[in-house]
Chains A and B, each alone.
Chain A
Amino acid sequence: MRVPILRLGRVLLTSLPADLTDQQVMDLQIDALALIQAGKADGLVIDITAADVVDSYMARILSETAKMVTIMGGVAVLAGMQPAVALTLVEMGRGMIDMETAFDLEGGVAKVGRMVASRGGRHDEVPTA
């Protein structure tokens, strides 16, 4: 089963389930990039509140997804990491998660808003002088 991606205005929202498989993350990456390419969104918020474990593979895929989204002109934010997960990731090494982070979904959307604003505004709007 593919992880659903919701669209709220110009932001894509997705919440990773606890029992996420590697294949599901790959599918998620493809789906999100396709939506951004279609010009439907400027940002992506990946919520990992449910995840108790994030291994190095998952961390890399997430970081890579963020970089890919950036290359395609969007912004990506990871939201809702559990303290225990953060602790483990830091113990595993520095820079395991190389992307923007936020406390929760709301914070993530707000951060996307700030990043898009600092980049120069939404892609579906004519920039105002």
Chain B
Amino acid sequence: MHGLGQILLQSRADVLEAWLERLRETVPGVQPASLQLLKLELGTLIEKLTGYFLTDDDDGAGPAFKSVEEQAATTSAACARDGLTPMETATLILSLKAIAGELLDRETSAKATDLYRMRTALDAVVDRLALVTFAAFVETREEIIKRQGRALLDLATPALPIWRHIILMPLVGIIDTQRARQVMEWLLEALSREEARIAILDVTGVPLIDSRVALHLTKTVEAARLLGSQVIVTGISPDAAQTLVKLDVDLSNMITRGSLRSGLAEAFRLLGQQSKGTTETMI
């Protein structure tokens, strides 16, 4: 396919311009910054493609085609990061067919059979690239999702010593099994480190409190009790209270308060109660 390579080499700039035009059509809301980036990526892709056709590496397994595939994957990753949909990305790659088709139509010097062969070869390559692109796109998306999941898990759950013997742990975000376990671990560590007698668990920032979250909370309360500490759960919204009662969740062995303020008052009351009993009375 040396001829095709030659044709591409001559009209590289035109192809790139036409391609970007297509991109603007398929994705009307594309940002100027990401357009610049994509222009760079697509330019490299055309270059690699030209290189592949020029080397006559027809079986599609040689190093030249490998580098084309790699570039397609990089381009697709860039698309995924810039928020293009899979549909838009695939359309973008496949639009190369039409662009190159027009290019070949204008090409009059070559024989008709040669043109036909060129076009079939190009179609095959672009189809293959579309598949590679799609795989790379999905991979990048998964990577992004995984990273976001990790970030969410690492979302700081600080245990703040707000008073002598009292620590506060504000929870923000959705509590799933993994996160609940982590919260429990951190809370117990903090209780033991700060020698705290009371932990206030503020759930104002937890959007949804259902029976599963309640179960996690009860477990945490139970674990803290084993350390000899008490847990006050604060910030239970009216919505959460309604849900928990309707779901018949038993929270009777848990100290719960509506606001952090009343939770703190309860903590001080409990501390006062505890300090009444002293070691001396028994010796």
A residues engaging B (CB < 8 A)? Answer: 8-11, 42-43, 78-79, 81-83, 85-87, 89-91, 94-95, 97, 101-104, 106-117, 122
Which of the segments B7-15, B123-131, B216-224, B237-245 contacts the partner chain?
B216-224
User: Which A-chain residue is minimally distant from B187 (CB atoms)?
Assistant: A83
> In the complex, are the beta carbons of B277 and A86 less than 8 A apart?
no
- A91–B184 Cα distance when bound, in Å, is 11
Given known contacts A106-B279, A111-B277, A113-B278, A101 and B189 CB-to-CB distance under 8 angstroms: no
- Tell me the B190-236 residues at the A interface (CB within 8 Å): 191-192, 195, 197, 218-220, 222-229
Residue of B195, B219, B228 with most chain A CB atoms under a 10 A cut-off: B228
Min CB–CB distance B233 → chain A (angstroms): 16
Given known contacts A9-B283, A83-B188, A103-B197, A113 and B228 CB-to-CB distance under 8 angstroms: no
Min CB–CB distance B23 → chain A (angstroms): 53
Number of A-B contacts (CB under 8 A): 88
> In the complex, are the beta carbons of B274 and A114 less than 8 A apart?
yes
Pairs across A and B, CB under 8 Å, 23 listed? A9-B282, A10-B283, A11-B283, A42-B282, A79-B228, A83-B188, A83-B189, A85-B226, A87-B185, A91-B219, A94-B218, A101-B226, A109-B279, A109-B282, A110-B278, A110-B279, A112-B282, A113-B278, A113-B280, A116-B282, A117-B277, A117-B281, A122-B282
User: Which A-chain residue is minimally distant from B280 (CB atoms)?
Assistant: A113
> In the complex, are the beta carbons of B222 and A90 less than 8 A apart?
yes
> In the complex, are the beta carbons of B188 and A86 less than 8 A apart?
yes
Residues of B within 8 A of A10 (CB): 282-283
> In the complex, are the beta carbons of A89 and B277 less than 8 A apart?
no
Residues of B within 8 A of A111 (CB): 228, 277
- B106 on interface, CB distance cutoff 8 Å: no
The DSSP consensus for interface residues of chain B is helix
- A111–B278 Cα distance when bound, in Å, is 8
* Other-chain residue from A81, A90, A112 in contact with B228 (beta carbon distance below 8 A): A81
Min CB–CB distance A92 → chain B (angstroms): 11
- A43–B282 Cα distance when bound, in Å, is 9
> In the complex, are the beta carbons of B192 and A83 less than 8 A apart?
yes
> In the complex, are the beta carbons of B226 and A90 less than 8 A apart?
yes
- A104–B185 Cα distance when bound, in Å, is 19
* Other-chain residue from A11, A86, A106 in contact with B226 (beta carbon distance below 8 A): A86
Residues of B within 8 A of A43 (CB): 282
> In the complex, are the beta carbons of A87 and B184 less than 8 A apart?
yes
Residue of B197, B223, B224 with most chain A CB atoms under a 10 A cut-off: B223
- B246 on interface, CB distance cutoff 8 Å: no
Given known contacts A102-B228, A103-B227, A94 and B283 CB-to-CB distance under 8 angstroms: no
